C-alpha cells in the first residue's frame, strides 16, 4: 500500500503531497487539473517496482522507469513531463509498504533518468490501471500497435491491461472476496466476458448461457467485465493497487452504485488499495456513504490546477468542490424557477 506521495512539477501538478492515503482514495477536479496525470505517475512508479527483477529480468530500475514513464505518458522525451516554465525540474517520491521510491529529472531529460532511488527487491504483486474506456474490443489492436508497430497510440495503461486480460481464468480456489465480488459484478451485467481460443475472439455470455459477439455488447458491460476477468485469472492479489480513471464513464448511476459496493469489498475486506479519479457527484456521494458505513477514512483530493490540492476525509462529510457546487447550482436554479 502506498502511504505517502510527494510530487513536484509534473505536468499541471506543481506541488502535490500527502501522507494521509487510505484504502480508497478519490481524486476529483475539473478537466485539466491533473487527475489522470497523478494516477498515471503513481501507476508507472508502482509498476516499475513490480517489474524490477521480476523473473529473469535484470534491467536496471532506471531503464525500467524511463521506459514505463515514456510509454505511460507517451512523450518523445521525458523532459516534456516537467511543468512548463519550471526551472527546478520534476521530482517524485512515494513510500510503499516501507520501501521508498523516488526519482527526479530536468526538462532536458531525453530517454534516461539519472536520479532514481535504488530498489532492493521486487514489489511482489500486480497492480493495474483501468482506463475510462473499455478495451476488450480493442485488445488485438492494442497488442499489435505495441508488440509489432511499436508506435504511440495506446499507452501502457491500455497495454498492460490488455496483457493482463489475456491470462485465462484459473481453476481452483479463489479468494472469497474475489469470488463474491465476481458474483456481484456478473449480477450487474447479467453475464460475463470470456475468450474463445477456437475463434480467437472475445464474447459475452449472459445468465441464460447465450453468447454474443463482443462488438454487440455495451461499453458499460465490457468495462465491468474487465474487473471480473482480473478477479478470475489470478492477476490481482491483496497487495495489488488498482487505479481507476473516470469510474463513472459509460455506467448508469445504478451500475456505479453497485460497482462501488464491490470496490468497497475489495478495499476494506481484502485490503487492496484503490485510487479513483471521477467527475461524478454519484461517485463522491456513494464513497461518502461507504466511509460512514465502514467508519473508515476515504481520502478525497480535490485538484485545483495551480493551487495545492484540497484534502478531505469523506468520513467527515462531503467535500466542497465544483462537482458539488454544480449540483447545488442546479438546485438553486430550480428554486429560482419555482419561487
Partner 1 sequence: MRENVFLTESGMTFGPFDADCFYHIEKAEEWKKLYDNGCKISECVVYRRNKNAWLSIEAKTTLANPHSPLDGGESFRNEIEEISEKLENSLDIFLKARLCNYTPEGFEQIDFRNAETVFVLVIRNHQYDWLINVTEALNQEIQRQIRFNRLWNVRVLAINEETAARYGLVTRSEQQGLQPGSGF
Enumerate binding residues for partner 1 (CB under 8 A): 289, 292, 318, 324, 327-328, 331-332, 334-335, 338-339
What's the closest the beta carbon of residue 33 comes to partner 1, in angstroms? 22
By beta-carbon proximity to partner 1, the closer residue of 250 and 318 is 318
By beta-carbon proximity to partner 1, the closer residue of 148 and 335 is 335
Main-chain phi, psi angles of 308, to 5 degrees = -65, 150
What's the closest the beta carbon of residue 270 comes to partner 1, in angstroms? 24
What's the closest the beta carbon of residue 252 comes to partner 1, in angstroms? 17
What's the closest the beta carbon of residue 66 comes to partner 1, in angstroms? 45
By beta-carbon proximity to partner 1, the closer residue of 28 and 242 is 28
Cα–Cα distance, 35 to 302 (Å, whole number): 9
320-327 contacts: CB < 8 A, separation 24 or more?
A: 321/28, 321/29, 321/284, 322/29, 322/30, 323/28, 323/279, 323/280, 323/281, 323/284, 324/281, 324/284, 326/281, 327/281
Cα–Cα distance, 132 to 138 (Å, whole number): 13
Beta bridge partners, 307, equal 304
What's the closest the beta carbon of residue 282 comes to partner 1, in angstroms? 12
By beta-carbon proximity to partner 1, the closer residue of 132 and 292 is 292
Identify which of 194, 193, 273 has the alpha carbon closest to the alpha carbon of residue 237: 273
Identify which of 45, 46, 105 has the alpha carbon closest to the alpha carbon of residue 81: 105
What's the closest the beta carbon of residue 336 comes to partner 1, in angstroms? 8
By beta-carbon proximity to partner 1, the closer residue of 76 and 334 is 334
By beta-carbon proximity to partner 1, the closer residue of 151 and 328 is 328
Chain position carrying cell 471521477? 278
SS3 content of the chain, % helix, strand, coil (to 5): 40, 25, 35
Q: Is 52 helix (H, G, I), strand (E, B) or coil?
A: coil
Identify which of 246, 241, 237 has the alpha carbon closest to the alpha carbon of residue 48: 241
Amino acid at each position: 500500500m502506498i502511504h505517502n506521495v510527494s510530487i513536484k512539477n509534473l505536468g499541471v501538478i506543481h506541488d502535490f503531497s500527502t501522507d494521509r492515503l487510505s484504502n480508497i482514495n478519490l481524486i476529483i477536479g475539473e478537466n485539466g487539473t491533473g487527475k489522470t496525470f497523478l494516477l498515471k505517475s503513481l501507476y508507472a512508479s508502482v509498476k516499475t517496482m513490480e517489474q524490477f527483477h521480476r523473473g529473469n529480468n535484470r534491467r536496471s530500475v532506471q531503464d525500467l522507469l524511463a521506459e514505463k514513464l515514456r510509454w505511460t505518458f507517451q512523450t518523445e522525451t521525458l523532459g516534456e513531463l516537467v511543468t512548463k516554465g519550471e526551472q527546478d525540474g520534476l521530482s517524485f517520491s512515494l513510500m510503499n509498504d516501507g520501501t521508498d521510491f523516488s526519482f527526479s529529472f530536468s526538462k532536458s531529460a531525453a530517454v534516461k533518468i539519472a536520479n532514481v532511488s535504488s530498489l532492493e527487491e521486487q514489489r511482489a504483486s500486480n497492480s493495474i490501471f483501468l482506463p475510462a474506456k473499455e478495451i476488450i474490443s480493442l485488445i488485438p489492436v492494442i497488442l499489435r500497435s505495441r508488440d509489432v508497430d511499436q508506435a504511440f497510440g495506446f499507452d501502457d495503461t491500455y497495454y498492460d491491461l490488455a496483457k493482463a486480460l489475456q491470462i485465462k481464468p484459473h481453476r481452483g480456489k479463489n479468494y472469497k472476496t474475489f469470488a463474491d465480488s465476481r458474483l456481484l459484478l456478473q449480477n450487474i451485467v447479467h453475464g460475463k466476458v470470456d475468450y474463445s481460443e477456437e475463434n480467437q475472439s472475445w464474447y459475452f455470455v449472459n445468465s441464460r448461457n447465450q453468447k454474443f459477439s463482443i462488438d454487440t455488447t455495451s461499453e458499460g458491460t465490457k468495462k465491468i467485465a474487465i474487473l471480473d476477468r482480473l478477479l478470475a485469472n489470478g492477476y490481482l492479489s491483496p497487495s495489488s493497487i488498482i487505479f481507476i480513471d473516470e469510474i463513472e464513464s459509460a455506467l448508469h448511476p445504478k451500475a456505479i452504485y453497485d460497482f462501488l459496493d464491490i470496490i468497497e469489498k475489495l478495499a476494506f475486506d481484502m485490503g487492496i488499495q484503490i485510487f479513483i479519479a471521477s467527475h461524478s457527484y454519484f461517485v463522491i456521494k456513494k464513497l461518502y456513504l461507504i466511509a460512514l458505513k465502514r467508519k473508515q477514512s476515504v481520502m478525497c483530493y480535490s485538484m485545483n490546477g495551480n493551487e495545492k490540492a484540497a484534502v478531505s476525509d469523506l468520513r467527515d462529510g462531503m467535500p466542497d468542490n465544483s462537482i458539488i457546487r454544480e449540483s447545488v447550482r442546479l438546485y438553486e436554479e430550480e428554486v429560482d424557477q419555482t419561487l
